[in-house]
Homo-oligomer: A and B are copies of this chain.
Amino acid sequence: MADSLQELRTKINGFVTARDWDQFHSPKNLAMAMIVEAAELVEHFQWDTLEESHELTPEKREAVSHELADTFVYLLRIAEVLDIDLIEAANQKIVLNGQKYPVDKVKGSNKKYTEY
């Protein structure tokens, strides 16, 4: 995995260990923590139109960036405790997604793959 990402993982692991929080970081608990952060992101956009969700005030932009960061931190923790390489997993999934959604079938459409 890449340098700055590896550095971030190491920093997060140190943060957790210093607080003796590994004992709480089961995949089940971490999955709950991550969806809570994802929901805090959703909350910022829940009453927006699609257009409004692109236009953030500086305050909202900062708050949104914090929710993205928290989601990312828990995502990295889950990958860590399950020993999954996120970059590799994402690269593999994109290949599968490409098979599920071939360009010539889905171009410009928002249908779910089960509808094709």
Whole-angstrom CA separation of A50 from B17 in the bound complex: 19
**A75 near B72 (CB under 8 angstroms)?**
yes
Contact with B along A54-71 (1 / 0, CB 8 A): 101000010011101111
Q: Which residue of B lies closest to A81 (CB)?
A: B54
New contact pairs (14) apart from A18-B103, A69-B94, CB-CB < 8 Å: A5-B5, A8-B91, A12-B90, A19-B103, A20-B107, A21-B110, A28-B32, A35-B41, A47-B110, A49-B50, A64-B84, A72-B75, A72-B86, A72-B89
A residues lining the B interface (CB < 8 Å): 1-6, 8, 11-12, 15, 18-21, 23-24, 26-29, 31-36, 38-54, 56, 61, 64-66, 68-73, 75, 78-79, 81-82, 84, 86-87, 89-94, 96-98, 101, 103, 106-108, 110
